Structure 1
């Protein structure tokens, strides 16, 4: 029976892509399926469409065929326009430069020059400073989508989450704007190896800002070094005055140093109620927190200098 023909499996042993070009007629579509040995007895499909004329309304695009597909399920995808989805993960803690490298390797994504700057301008931001203003997440797209459309979603999501965090922030924070909250969140992101410590790390920086102490955080130094950073920070690097060297400048650096996660943004807006001013890595992703410089030096000797 012709209706049973729709249950015939598609002849594939592993997932593969099928392109339906714009303007393809149903008969041309059948010819493509036959010529690629995906189906046999294409004439039956022509008769099946006479019984079910809605199946002839195929849509152009890139589709994925899987071994579990039969003729009915394949047609359902193509009639509904359920194109193959691709995904790209833009990681928290990475810079715009690193994201550019990730995006450049993506399959079937249409790239554009200066795309981060374009998005800022189109959203009324003429600062020329895209760092940290895009939300890290996994974004899905179909073949032929523009990088710009994908990144615009990322930008709008960050603005939404940042505004929400700023409006609901803890009272009395020594931060003048949502942008300063974003800068602080980016530093928290880079300093945190253990998720539960984010509010404590946020508290250390907030406490230091309140006291007028320098933040003295290595990730800002590294960011300020740019391509010169080779995996090590020397004493000379710590003494060098750059706009980002928080051992030399007072307060926050001028821009974020990476894309902060939502958790880091929330930690910046709601630091823990603790009176720590220092922390040092235990070299396992966690930190020892201290109230005084004496306690901190003791922890540094134990965990960093092995004394």
Structure 2
């Protein structure tokens, strides 16, 4: 009788469709058993309770979403619940997203408490536990596709993304950063600006060359994305008056790198920041097709601006140095 009670509710082929059972945090074992019975995944409440007692299961069931089906025995279902083998949901964080945009992705996917996430990424005490000295985790959450369960703890989500950065921050990159006398924070800052300046992977080393040359010659970076990041309320269009705003992120007024990253750079931009192209370029201007025209002199740059930006009906896209070259 007990063997029958703990056997699958459905046997033979074809395999029955799976069901998603969501176990809320704090559920008792008896409540879990009630859910399984109402979903017709177990034959007997008392038999599953008896099985659970033999494994001391009360309060050991981990909350979350479980994919179960009627072909599973009671033992298989219990083992899955005790192991916490919950359903994982893919979450893709695009390259170049900032903390606010990343929080929006998680809000849409409903995998974690977004308010707690937004608080922790700016909590210096928590950030220090990750071995990072920064005012926020801007730039430190590596953009890629992750798999998270529903109701994941915000701190676990954040740690997974910081671990993603550490995976790509290889010994080769660390050694190059040391040779260039750049900290990880500085590399992330420069890489984030490169990331926001171009959508063309083929250009990132050239963009990096422009910024390294400007840093070396003590010429302001003049990057629109940094200005935009520092604006309290950006309306989608950068105006000439914005370039005069006093902000540590206004790289038209402030020389050198901004105080921190403005987004999460991808692996290619990280590498470009450390291995820029060997070029003398100091300027670039958008060609309005997703690529840029690079120039070494102001005269060449002004010609490019005339060609690509001052013709009728031209509209600036990327390329901060398009009109305001030093």
Give the TM-score of the pair, scaled to structure 2: 0.75
- Once the two structures are superposed, residues 66-91 of structure 1 have per-residue CA deviations (whole angstroms, 9 ceiling, x without a partner) of 78x63357677446542111333333
User: For this pair of structures, how many residues does the alignment match?
Assistant: 297
Pairing 1:209–2:212 present:
no
**C-alpha separation between the residues in 2 aligned to 1:304 and 1:107?**
42
TM-superposition CA deviations, 1:1-47 (whole Å, max 9, x none): 9678663579976753343875526xx866644433457xx26x959
The answer for the alignment partner of 1:150 in structure 2 is: 157
Alpha-carbon RMSD across the aligned residues, in angstroms, is 3.7
- 1:7 corresponds to 2:11: yes
1:62 is the counterpart of 2:68: no
Equivalent in the alignment of 2:322? none
CA contact (8 A) 2:226 2:262 kept: yes
Aligned to 1:16: 20
Contact (CA 8 Å) 1:166, 1:178: kept in 2 or not? no
Q: Structure 1's 166 and 29: CA in aligned 2 closer, same or farther, altered over 3 A?
A: closer
Equivalent-residue separation in structure 1 for 2:119 and 2:146 (angstroms): 20
Are 1:188 and 2:194 matched, yes or no? yes
Counterpart mapping for 1:70-81 below 5 A: 70-72=71-73, 77-78=80-81, 80-81=83-84
Scaled by the length of structure 1, what TM-score is found? 0.79
Is the 8 Å Cα contact of residues 66 and 81 (structure 2) preserved in structure 1? no
| Cα separation, 2, equivalents of 1:151 and 1:214 | 33
Equivalence for 2:321: none
- State whether structure 2 residue 39 is matched by structure 1 residue 36: yes
CA shift for structure 1 position 114: 2.2
- Given that residues 119 and 152 in structure 1 are in contact (C-alpha distance below 8 angstroms), is that contact kept between their aligned partners in structure 2? no
Moved more, 123-132 or 69-78: 69-78
* Cα separation, partners in 2 of 1:22 and 1:282, compared to 1, 3 Å: same
Is 1:107 the counterpart of 2:110? The answer is yes
The 3-state SS of whatever aligns with 1:279 is strand
Whole-Å separation in 1 of the counterparts to 2:162 and 2:65: 29
Contact 1:241-1:248 within 8 A present in 2 as well: yes
**C-alpha displacement at 1:163, in angstroms?**
6.6
CA distance in 1, matches of 2:159, 2:32: 35
Match of 2:127 in 1: 120
SS in 2 for 1:16: strand
Q: Which residue pairs with 2:281 in the alignment?
A: 276
Tell me which residue corresponds to 2:256.
Answer: 251
Q: SS at the partner of 1:145?
A: coil
User: Residues 66 and 85 of structure 2 are in contact (CA less than 8 Å); yes or no, is this contact kept in structure 1?
Assistant: no
Gaps of 5+ in 1: none
Question: Residues 253 and 80 (structure 1 numbering): CA distance in 2 closer, same or farther, change over 3 Å?
Answer: closer
Return 161-170 or 280-289, whichever deviates more: 161-170
- Tell me the secondary structure at the aligned position of residue 64 of structure 2: strand
User: Counterparts of 1:108 and 1:177 in 2: how far apart (Å)?
Assistant: 33
Matches within 5 A, 1:226-245: 226-227=232-233, 229-245=234-250
Verify the 8 A CA contact 1:10 1:38 in the aligned structure 2.
no
Equivalent of 2:139 in 107, 132, 136:
132
| Alignment correspondent of 2:94 | 91
Which stretch has the larger CA shift, 290-299 or 113-122?
113-122
SS at match of 1:169: helix
